[in-house]
Structure 1
Amino acid sequence: MAKNSAHARALSSPRAFHLLMNLYPPLLFTGVRVRHVAEDWSSVRVSHRVRAWNRNVNRSAFGGTLFAMTDPFYAVMAAGQLGGGYRIWNSKGAIEFLAPGYDVVTATMRLTPDEAAAIRARVDDTGRSVTTHVTEIRAADGTAIARATQDLHVRRLS
């Protein structure tokens, strides 16, 4: 019950989610910071500052951290927009490394209200929805350094 209560508190508002995610140990200890969560749950922006204690042997952003920048956010945006009554999870994820990332890297994930409505309609029609979402992680100069892909699986709770 406590787990569901904590989950409900985290999703009670974008502001609460923003604050709690910045304290979430897997993100906190890797240096990933949530910078913005849209009031309608349609976008999340995160950043990561590459430092001596969180970089790889090539002095660039560690690949696992780059993927962690995108991992939970599509599911959370879907939950925020769809509301209760759904089971939502990432069923598949991949990352393609395009260039080394130094200093500060950022990612913006977007799930538009129209996309959320299409997911809801698909679940209502077929019982489930699987959608693919792609996020580019960018260096401060705008260069794409990685492309993360996630499949978002949504079903109604029975």
Structure 2
Amino acid sequence: MGESLRTRLERVVFNWWPSYLGTGGRVTHIEDDWSEIHLKLPLSWRTRNIVGTIFGGSLYSAVDPFYMVMLMRRLSEEYVVWDKDAAIRFRKPATETLYATFEMPDVEVERIETALTDQESVDREYTVDLVDSEGVVYATVEKTVHVSTDEDKRA
């Protein structure tokens, strides 16, 4: 499928959004249907900590919003989507550029929609690894995203 002109423009806006700009991360690809997102987190003056590795806050904040945003884009407006919980496990000090790939396949979206025909809300857990160019894992982030059909939860 690939990136469309629209998702290319959304990627540029996302990368320059002040709260994301500060993470040091860069979105490098958004699939046309928001089923996949790629990001890059370089070791730079903006992301380097006191011991010369990528700051843990940069590792987490660079990956923080994506599962929630992907679900918001893939589900219709009748659903309310919120981040509910998160955890990060540091595997090794990051001394080089790291990458992450987020996937939200059609089958997952269908599972959520099906679950919400019988219940008011559902929590879904997702995991993403931050890896180097050879696939070595430096950190693992676990996210819990809450999806609801409850009108009262819209803000």
| Fold agreement, TM-score > 0.5 | yes
Q: 1:102–1:139: 8 Å Cα contact kept in structure 2?
A: no
Aligned counterpart, 2:88:
95
2:136 to 143, 146, 152: 143
CA distance change for structure 1 residues 78 and 19 in 2, over 3 Å: closer, same or farther? same
Structure 1 residue ranges (4+ consecutive) displaced by more than 3 angstroms after TM superposition:
none
> What one-letter code is carried by the residue in structure 1 that aligns with 2:11?
H
Q: Structure 1 length normalisation: TM-score?
A: 0.87
Establish whether residue 85 from structure 1 lines up as the match of residue 75 from structure 2: no
Establish whether residue 155 from structure 1 lines up as the match of residue 148 from structure 2: yes
Q: Counterparts in 2 of 1:1-150, with a 5 A limit?
A: 13-150=6-143
**Alpha-carbon distance, 1:87 to partner:** 0.9
What CA RMSD, in Å, does the superposition of the two structures yield over aligned residues?
1.3
**Structure 1 Cα separation of the partners of residues 68 and 45 of structure 2:** 31
CA distance change for structure 1 residues 21 and 137 in 2, over 3 Å: closer, same or farther? same
Q: Structure 2 length normalisation: TM-score?
A: 0.88
Match of 1:14, SS? helix
Identity across the alignment (%): 27
Q: Which runs of 5+ in 2 are unaligned?
A: 1-5
Q: 1:69–1:107: 8 Å Cα contact kept in structure 2?
A: no
Q: 2:123–2:144: 8 Å Cα contact kept in structure 1?
A: yes
Match of 1:22, SS? helix
Q: Which runs of 5+ in 1 are unaligned?
A: 1-12
Match of 1:69, SS? helix
**Structure 2 Cα separation of the partners of residues 146 and 106 of structure 1:** 10
